[in-house]
Structure 1
Amino acid sequence: MEKRQIGSSSIMVSKLGLGCMSLGTDETKAREIVEAALEGGITYFDTADLYDFGQNEEILGKILQPYRDQIVISTKVGNRWNHEKTSWTWDPSKEHIKESVKQSLHRLKTDYIDLYQLHGGTIQDNIEESIEAFEELKDEGYIKEYGISSIRLNVIKQYAEKSTIQSNMMQYSLLDRRPEEIFPILEDHTISVITRGPVAKGLLTNSMLNKATNKILDQGYLDYTYEELKSVLLSIQDRFHSTRNMNELALQYNLSHSAVASVIPGASSVLQVTENIAAVNKDPLTKEEVDLLKGITKQSIYQEHRE
Structure 2
Amino acid sequence: MEKRQIGASDLYVSKMGLGCMSLGTDETHAKEIVQTALENGINYFDTADLYDFGRNEQIVGSALKDVRDDVIIASKVGNRWNDVKDGWRWDPSKEYIKSAVKDSLSRLNVDYIDLYQLHGGTIKDNFEESIEAFEELKEEGCIREYGISSIRPNVIKRFLSHSSTQSVMMQYSLLDRRPEEWTDLLEEHQVSIIARGPLAKGLLSDKMLSKASDKIRKDGYLDYSYAELEEALAAIRSKASETRSMNELALQYDLARSGVASVIPGASSARQLKENIEAVNRPPLSPEELELLEQLTKISRYEQHRD
TM-score range, shorter chain: over 0.9
Q: CA deviation at 1:10?
A: 0.4
1:122-161 → structure 2 map (5 Å cutoff): 122-161=122-161
Asked if 1:263 is matched to 2:263, the reply is yes
Return the letter of the residue paired with 1:231: E
TM-score by length of 1: 0.99
Deviation at 1:194, TM superposition (A): 0.1
User: Is the 8 Å Cα contact of residues 203 and 212 (structure 2) preserved in structure 1?
Assistant: yes
Aligned position for 2:229? 229
1:59 partnered with 2:59? yes
Which consecutive residues of structure 1, in runs of 5 or more, have no partner in the other structure? none
RMSD over aligned CA atoms reads 0.6
CA distance in 2 between counterparts of 1:61 and 1:250 reads 29
Q: Does the aligned pair in 1 maintain the 2:77–2:100 contact within 8 Å?
A: yes
Q: Is the 8 A contact 2:240 2:293 kept in 1?
A: no
Q: 1:216 — aligned with what?
A: 216
Aligned partner of 1:88 in structure 2 is 88
2:285 is matched with 285
Indicate the residue corresponding to 1:207 in structure 2.
207
Deviation at 1:241, TM superposition (A): 3.3
Partner of 2:210, secondary structure, is helix
Cα-to-partner distance string for 1:159-183 (whole Å, 9 max, x where unaligned)? 0000000000000000000110012
2:115–2:143: 8 Å Cα contact kept in structure 1?
yes
Is 1:107 aligned to residue 107 of structure 2? yes
Distance, in Å, in 1 between the alignment partners of 2:225 and 2:299 is 15
Residue type of the alignment partner of 1:7: G
Partner SS, residue 146 of structure 2 = strand
**Distance in 1, Cα, partners of 2:152 & 2:185:** 13
1:179-205 C-alpha deviation (Å, 9 max, x unpaired): 100121111100000010000010000
Tell me, in whole angstroms, the C-alpha distance in 2 between the residues paired with 1:188 and 1:306. Answer: 20
Report how far residue 216 of structure 1 moved.
1.2
CA shift digits 1:86-118 (9 cap, x unpaired):
000000000000011111001101101000000
For structure 2, the 5+ residue unaligned runs are: none
Deviation at 1:217, TM superposition (A): 1.1
For residues 207 and 259 of structure 1, what CA distance do their matches in structure 2 show? 28
* 1:232-247 matches, cutoff 5 A: 232-247=232-247
Q: Quote the residue 1:296 is aligned against.
A: 296
Q: Which residue of 1 aligns with 2:249?
A: 249
Which residue of structure 2 aligns with residue 190 of structure 1?
Answer: 190
